[in-house]
């Protein structure tokens, strides 16, 4: 009888041991998990540790559009950058500014989007200011980078820092060429430009 009891305990004990809390220590740690609030009273996320880099890359280091004015573009102008910028421009910007940046889209008159091929944009506005406008938005334009910095928090975090700089490269170094090429194509073959 004593041996049966010991045999039963030997069989049951490992099963009971796996039921103890230490069997899930790695999955359920007492540490604060990502996206978890600091406390129940303060519903903001715990700040990232010093010198950590988020998965999406390095965040915007300026607080508003005016602070971004003097930023230097860290993304060199290249065919790849212009191609990325053109694609993103057509996805996010063309609805208001037109495919060629001439502010000729159907909704432009209703919202007052400016032509991005104008001398003011091409020669007076800095690349940093355009980056700040994309990141933080403007009076009517939504933010595409840091919507939580806006008082109304209107916008989306759709574009990474690198993507915003690629759009800046395209606006400053490719948009005008594309707009001029479209005019040349339209003059040569009016039917082809309407098909696009």
The first and second tokens of residue 13, run together, are 């004990």
Domain count along the chain? 1
User: How many whole angstroms separate alpha carbon 118 and alpha carbon 109?
Assistant: 16
Residue 78 lies in a domain: yes
The number of C-alpha atoms within 13 Å of 126 and in the hemisphere containing its C-beta is: 12
Residue ranges making up the domain that contains 145: 67-195
Residue 164 lies in a domain: yes
Q: What is the CATH number of the domain that holds 162?
A: 1.10.760.10
What pLDDT shows up at residue 3? 76
- Cβ partners under 8 Å of residue 23, min gap 6: 17
What pLDDT shows up at residue 37? 67
User: How many whole angstroms separate alpha carbon 196 and alpha carbon 191?
Assistant: 9
User: How many whole angstroms separate alpha carbon 187 and alpha carbon 138?
Assistant: 35
Average pLDDT, the chain: 79
Task: Please state the pTM of the whole predicted model.
Answer: 0.65
Confidence of residue 85 (pLDDT cuts 50, 70, 90): very high
């Amino acid at each position: 009888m004593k041996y049966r009891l010991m045999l039963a305990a030997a069989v049951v004990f490992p099963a009971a041991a796996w039921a103890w809390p230490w069997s899930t220590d790695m999955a359920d740690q007492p540490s604060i998990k990502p996206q978890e609030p600091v406390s129940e009273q303060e519903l903001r996320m715990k700040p990232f540790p010093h010198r950590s880099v988020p998965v999406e890359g390095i965040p915007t280091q300026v607080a508003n559009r005016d602070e971004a004015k003097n930023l230097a573009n860290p993304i060199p102008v290249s065919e790849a950058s212009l191609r990325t910028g053109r694609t993103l421009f057509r996805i996010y910007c063309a609805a208001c500014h037109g495919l060629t940046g001439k502010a000729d889209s159907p909704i432009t008159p209703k919202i007052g989007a400016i032509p991005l091929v104008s001398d003011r944009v091409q020669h007076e506005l800095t690349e940093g200011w355009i980056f700040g406008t994309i990141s933080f938005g403007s009076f009517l334009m939504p933010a595409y980078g840091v919507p939580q910095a806006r008082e109304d928090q209107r916008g989306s975090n759709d574009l990474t820092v690198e993507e915003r700089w690629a759009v800046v490269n395209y606006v400053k170094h490719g948009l005008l060429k594309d707009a001029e090429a479209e005019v040349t194509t339209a003059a040569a073959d009016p039917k082809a430009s309407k098909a696009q």
